[in-house]
Each structure stands twice: as C-alpha cells, then as structure tokens.
Amino acid sequence: MVLPRETQTVPYIHPTAIVDPSAQLGSDVHVGPFAIVEPGVIIGDGCRLDARVVIKSRTVLGSGNEIGEGAVLGGSAQHLQRMDPGGMLVIGENNRIRENATLHRGYANEAVTKIGSNNLIMVAAHVAHDCQVGNNVVLVNNVMLGGHVQVDDRAYVGGGVGIHQFCRIGRFVMVGAQTRITQDVPHYLLVEGAQAQIIGLNQIGLRRNGFTADDMLQLKAAYRVIYRQGLRWSEVLEQLARDFTTGPAALYHEFLKTGKRGFVQERRISRKALLKIADPATADEIGEESPGRKADAA
C-alpha cells in the first residue's frame, strides 16, 4: 500500500543489500537483506522487496508491489539464442509475487513481458519471456507459463498447471490444478484434467464477480453455439457475430476469430458411463455436475 504523501519516507535499504546507484527507487521502498537491484531498474513508491530478491536490469515496477523471498524478476529469456540486452519486464501496481517466483523479460530488444495490477503470483510460479498477464489474475504455486502466453483479466490458474507457448487463457477462466494446456481456452470457462477438457462455464467464479442471471443465460446460449450445436467453424463465428453483439458473450467472436492454436474441446462422457441419478429436465445448467445431465448431453 502506498503511504499518504505527508508520511512517505526515503527508501530503506538493508546493509547487506546491493542496490546499483543508477537504479531509481520511489518513496517508502523497502529493500530486504541480501537483495540485489541491478542498474537501470525502476521501482515505484511503497514497494517491498523481501530477503534475497533479485531485480534484474530492464525491469520496471509500479507502486505498491510486494516481492517475496528469493524471487527473481527480469531475468533474460530462456532461449537457445541469447539476445543482448534483451527486452523489458514491466509490472503494474499492487501485485503480490511470492517466494521463488521467476518472471523473465521479453526476448527481443524491443519486446516486453507485461504483468498488470492486483495479481497474486504464488510460490515458484514461472512467467516466461513475452507473456502478457492481465489484472486480478491468480497464478497458484508452480504454474508454468511458456513464452508469449496471454492470461486475461481475472483468470485463475491452479497449482502445477503448464501452459504451452503462444496459448491464450480468456477472461474469468478457471484452470484446474495440474492441467496441461496446449490450446486456447475461451473466456468464462472451466477447464480441468491432465489432457485439458472444458467442463462448462465457470459459474461460481462468474457469480462471485457480479454476473447477473441474464448474463449467465446469454453465456449459456453462446456456449451451446460453440460446443453443442455441431456447427462448422465458419458458422460458429457467423452466429456469434450476429447474435451476441453486446453483453459478456460479445467477447467470444473476436477471441475465437483470432485463435491460431485451436481451442480446448468440451469433455464428452459416454451415455453408458454413468447412472442417471437426476432428471435431465431439472439439470439444465451448463457445467452442471449432475451425472444424469452429463449422460444426457453426451
């Protein structure tokens, strides 16, 4: 948190820390024991660097960021061919980056790895070169983002998830723990399993974030267009562009139109795989966990 102007103080630098004279530190910055801040780094007001944090050159931190012990920010891209000096790492405001996380700067000299604001990046998570992470994102312990991955606002990525380079994770997506993502995940969906399968809308997350009953009905209708009607891809895009011009589902057309890696597909369960323990007529929710609903939909 940034202190009021009248109470702001000069940076505190622990005697064992090494801060290059060319680094720019804002007001009320705290640099802990054995931390290293390299030349040219810019750190905004109210940031806290705990013990053994390393901030590499060509890194910019906004105000109010908290960096946990052992984290390394702005390391060079893990690439077979080294690019000197390489790109930049730009981090927004009020992020919490926990212990031993690693965030790399862009690969090419003009490239930027960008982290938005109000994110929680947990222990030992890795954000590779040229990634774009939005706002209010949660990356749980040991998440691995390959190069050029895009994670949109308010996505939640569970522990141990690996995301292949160039993949995109849409807004309000929830990815279950230890899932392997090799294709794009459209907005608002819930995906899980070692082979990554869509299991419906992220209903709980959407409702917690203020989506109305009308919003949910619209998203269910768009979901059926994408995954349930058996349309050709050109027909899916045409119907989305025609029928969902406003509201949350309006984001689907542009996201799907610009995909280059394909999209994670819906989980389908054999009609014989589960007993019907609920009346399908009463289990009409997309993503409903009723075995009867899944058997009927398959």
Q: What ranges do the domains of the chain cover?
A: 5-148, 212-297
In this prediction, residue 99 carries a pLDDT of 98
CA–CA gap between residue 96 and residue 105 (Å, rounded): 18
Question: Does residue 293 have a pLDDT over 80?
Answer: no
pLDDT for 7 equals 55
- Percent of the chain exceeding pLDDT 70 equals 87
Mean pLDDT calculated for residue range 41-64: 98
Residue 65, pLDDT above cutoff 50: yes
If you average pLDDT over residues 107-130, what whole number do you get?
98
Instruction: Report the distance separating Cα 60 and Cα 175, nearest Å.
Output: 29
35 touches 14 (CB < 8 A): yes
What pLDDT does residue 286 have? Answer: 53
- Least confident range of 80-94, 255-269, 274-288: 274-288
Q: Are 77 and 83 in contact, with CB atoms under 8 Å apart?
A: yes
Strands 197-201 and 189-192: antiparallel
Please tell me the predicted confidence (pLDDT) of residue 247.
Answer: 97
State mean pLDDT over 89-98: 98
**Whether residue 4 has pLDDT greater than 70:** no
5-148: CATH class: mainly beta
Structure tokens at 92: 């927004």
Query: Could you give the CA distance from residue 177 to residue 180 in angstroms, rounded to a whole number?
Result: 9
Backbone region of residue 166 per phi and psi (left: phi > 0; alpha: psi in -120 to 50; beta: other values): left
Helix or strand holding residue 48 (H, E): strand 48-49
Q: Which residue has the tokens 């000069």?
A: 10
Note the pLDDT of residue 77.
97
Q: What is the DSSP string of 169-223?
A: E-TT-EE-TT-EE-SBB-TTEEEETTTTEEEEE-HHHHHHTT--HHHHHHHHHHH
Residue 289 in this model has a pLDDT that exceeds 50: no
Q: How far apart are the C-alpha atoms of 236 and 62, rounded to whole Å?
A: 41
Active site residue 152: no
Q: Which of 147, 158, 176, 292 is catalytic?
A: 147
- The pLDDT of residue 3 is 44
CA–CA gap between residue 163 and residue 196 (Å, rounded): 10
Distance CA(15)–CA(103), nearest Å, equals 26
**130 part of the active site:** yes
Residues 102-113 have pLDDT tens digits of 999 999 999 999
- Give the length of the chain: 298
Q: What is the pTM of this model?
A: 0.87
Q: Across the chain, what does the average pLDDT equal?
A: 91
Tell me the mean pLDDT in the region 28-54: 98
Round to whole Å and give the CA distance between 12 and 29.
6
Average pLDDT (170-174) is 98
- For 221-276, what is each residue's pLDDT tens digit? 999 999 999 999 999 999 999 999 999 999 999 999 999 999 999 997 655 544 45
How much is the pLDDT for 240? 98
The band of 8, judged by pLDDT with boundaries at 50, 70 and 90, is: low
Q: Which of 45, 130, 152, 184 is catalytic?
A: 130
CA distances for 228 relative to 70, 78, 224, 236, 254, angstroms: 47, 40, 5, 10, 19
pLDDT(278) > 60: no
- Compute φ and ψ for 208, nearest 5 degrees: -65, -25
- Please calculate the CA angle 203-209-210 and round it to the nearest 5 degrees: 95
Q: Which of 30, 104, 126, 129 is catalytic?
A: 129
User: Taking the CA atoms of the chain, what radius of gyration do you get in angstroms?
Assistant: 22
Active site residue 147: yes
pLDDT grade, residue 9 (50/70/90)? confident
Over residues 171-175, mean pLDDT: 98
Q: What is the pLDDT of residue 298?
A: 30
User: How far is residue 97's CA from residue 84's CA, in Å, rounded to a whole number?
Assistant: 26
3-state secondary structure string across 99-157: CCCEEECCCCCCCEEEECCCCEECCCCEECCCCEECCCCEECCCCEECCCCEECCCCEE
